[in-house]
Amino acid sequence: MAAASLNGRVLAFVEARMPDEMASLIRRHGGVPYGAPVLQEHYLKDSPEVQQAITDVCEGRVDTAVFLTGVGANAMMGIAEAMGRLPEFEDALRDITVVARSPKPGRVLRRHKIPITIMPPEPYTSSDLTAAMAALDLSGKRVVFQRYGGPDSELPTYLREQGANYQELTLYDWGLPDDTSPVVKLIDRIERGEVDALAFTSRPQVPNLLDIATQAGKEESLRSSLAGSVAVASVGPVCTRKLLEQGINVDIEPEHPHMGNLVMAVADYFDGRS
């Protein structure tokens, strides 16, 4: 059976980290990509809080380190290197419990030859993470973890319930792009009916897109389009939850939360409607 094709449909996306890869996937499945990043990463390299946490790990005052994103894991290694303590930090992590939320931080940790004690199964939600961490005795233990895409109450709540002493680290945040005009042009194309589907690949993309639309006086028309002719595609449950919280219904979500699966799911969606 031949794979489903997008058949020339326009699949827009707001991915910032891997736009070329996303565009290539869309073309490979017969679609026309249209990208307009809604995020810009701002690294907090000089945070005394993060530097102190790295020092605490190096000096044996941390029992468990939880890495939630690949970007965050990379940032923490970079800060440790800037402090001149990367080898010491790596050695210390090898002696404590290390948790990776998904394969992305897992790849960073493996690159630094740091064993991973726990990684939850797909789809790597906060609930999956806390369920996997149930195997750990956290009572009275010092836990550090990296904030992921804004405040998330589930992991801190779980750690409190387990009696852990935890510290939440902000390694980077997601701001709006310096130039939001490409996003406004995307919204214009959506309004004119020139986009068939809009793909979201991470949770922070949702509020940022709506913020840009609001600033341009286009939020109402964007919401109307997403509730009507434009199919909304979400990479996975975490992103879907954020869309639903913002009042945006999701038409497409792949079984496994990966960009390639997302594009295939969009192709399958339109193939089933033709």
Q: 71-108, pLDDT tens digit by residue?
A: 899 999 999 999 999 999 999 999 999 999 999 999 99
- pLDDT value at residue 273: 75
pTM of the model: 0.82
- pLDDT value at residue 133: 98
Contacts with 210 (C-beta within 8 Å, 6 or more apart), sequence order: 219, 222, 246
CATH topology of domain 10-39+177-273: Rossmann fold (3.40.50)
> What single-letter DSSP state applies at residue 115?
-
- Sheet with 165-169: list strands edge to edge: 97-100, 64-67, 142-146, 165-169
- pLDDT value at residue 42: 81
- pLDDT value at residue 134: 96
Among left, alpha and beta (phi > 0; psi -120 to 50; other), residue 249 is beta
- pLDDT value at residue 153: 74
Domain ranges within the chain, ordered by starting residue: 10-39+177-273, 42-174
As averages over each run of 10 residues, the pLDDT of the chain (274 residues) reads: 86 93 97 97 85 98 96 94 97 98 96 98 92 97 84 85 96 90 98 98 95 98 97 96 97 95 97 76
Contacts with 228 (C-beta within 8 Å, 6 or more apart), sequence order: none
Q: E strands, the chain, where?
A: 10-13, 32-35, 40-43, 64-67, 97-100, 142-146, 165-169, 172-175, 197-200, 231-234
- Cα angle 125, 156, 116; round to 5: 55
Domain 42-174, what architecture?
A: 3-Layer(aba) Sandwich (3.40)
